Amino acid sequence: MNETCISSPPGKQNGDFRIALYPGTFDPITNGHIDIIERGLQLFDRIIVTVAVNVQKTPLFSLEERCTMIRECFKDTGNRVEIGYTDGLIVNYALKNNARTIIRGLRAISDFDYEFQLALMNRRLERTVETVFLMTAFRWIYISSSNIKNAARCKGNVTGLVPEHVERALKEKFA
């Protein structure tokens, strides 16, 4: 697997708008992720939601399923939210897509240590790509894709924590 590159919207030159990446495994996408993306759209002209292939994780959903679920969430945003994927370095993917910013969401202090290390490594690898941290909205602070999967696996109610189509997909996976 390689990666997909997103081209610039028609009528815009690369320097005329701000593009950010929001990388993650999104297995599955949650309302917390959606909140970060929607708030990121207030800061950036376009966000490329980048499904990162992490060899250290075994996803519940295939890459295609995750991209489809994300696409469904943002079908009404025109070209402001794009979906891409990579199994390479996020900073390299950012450069290929003319993005100079990586968005990361923080839920708690425990997230900060990992995210800070990741941001410093990315900065070391590519100095022209910045990382911006957005605090998760308080109502989503306790959810993660892992928590959602565990609850769904045990037949817990995840209504309101993920979009309806994601909830249906979880029920199908654990039926």
165 is catalytic: no
State the catalytic residue, choosing from 46, 66, 107, 149: 107
What's the token pair of residue 63?
A: 């890459």
57 is catalytic: yes
Angle of the 145-153 helix axis to the 164-173 helix axis, nearest 10: 50
Distance CA(5)–CA(17), nearest Å, equals 17
Q: Catalytic: which of 33, 66, 104, 149?
A: 33
- Site of tokens 């980048």: 50
Closest CA to 66 of 10, 15, 23, 35: 23
Whether 123 is catalytic: no
Query: Residue 107 catalytic?
Result: yes
> Cα separation of 92 and 17, whole Å?
19
Catalytic residue selected from 46, 66, 104, 145: 145
- Name beta bridge partners: 135: 106
Query: Which runs of consecutive H residues, i.e. helices, occur in 74-127?
Result: 90-96, 109-125
Catalytic residues: 33, 57, 107, 145
